[in-house]
Structure 1
């Protein structure tokens, strides 16, 4: 089984002021395998976002190591890891450039992690491809290929962020509570699209969620975090035997 991410004894300590240090990721070891779709649950301050930041390279480890596809990236910054990873944030505004059109945003995402010299963008070459892509969403965005993203609804913008994250297939897709800022109906629609993309592209994905129902429904593994540690790592079979009340009991 191909290992995409390997965390060994990953620890992050931050200065809390007055020379006091707080451990926000505590000796975490985790292997993420190809085609895993892992949902992550945990209360506030459990270490979920810290785990994502460590993998993405926006937060460096105090000790421990991280490998991506066997390469030691422990000391590599985020831009050096961009060729492997794509991330969708909680805030729909985070993943898109507001004054650029939908097509322009998709063009940038299509060449994520690649070296770009100064050359004509030739966006017209990709118009048909991008129109086909957005037409699959079904939330009205198909009429807005040439619309600046700042004029889209939150749901449309988040769906675009998801498409941008997957238009060039990433080795690992990080979903950082990507439905949390949406209304319930739009959230369900985006989760259906997420599951469809993960299945169609055979993606490896890691998803933070506060929705117990989504943790129960989606993914082949469930990780529960508390106080910077992984306290549960459940398989698909173990998940299948659980009901909603079992999930709530994990936090007691």
Structure 2
């Protein structure tokens, strides 16, 4: 490919090559003048140059003749229309493109679909995660629990839950400050994580409360998991004196729905509190 000296002089070549999404420099005849680094990774025929539609769609005639005029932002830009395009293919794949004019004969075309998809995935992930502990947040763990109840019902599998509350956590915050309290929360979360399987789910339900979902697990085994968590936390040095937890365990029963299962695990946890804390109770 011949790279325009104008691109080099104005630093546009370096700029285009640094973009985190595929970008092409094209002339007014739709010839590919330059493909940036991300474009070279994305398009199989990037080395061959040629027409942009050959490179990006693998077809031998203009894409607007195949998919319609709305799919080409460069053509729309030349016709003084809004220089962006969005279209979907089968299987949910989509393309989002934007064009920009460099001068009378040179254009930039940006392919934002994979970049936007990555951002959407990241935003969805961040929307589900508690930033302090890295666990699911309350909304997401409630959604997972509802789904797991439905799945357990469908396949006849056991399902158990553990409701964990850090004992006297307000006292830790009042005595040592909220920054130290956050350190305790992170450390408790890490200790919980070490006792769980990859197939288990855990979320931060409230300030110092955690919900653990154990698919395909009978309550008896869930009690053993809760005891291991309790013992591990009791042994740990948090630098704030003794830190303990109270845990309530229950399993899916009879005609349970989310509400009845939650009420029972909540009651089990508060039973552990009433019996002196630093213990596991089951209902």
Give TM class, smaller chain.
under 0.3
Please identify which structure carries the higher strand content. Answer: 1
Please identify which structure carries the higher helix content. Answer: 2
Structure ID, larger Rg: 2
Greater length-normalized contact order (CA 8 Å, ≥ 6 residues apart): 1
TM-score (norm 1): 0.20
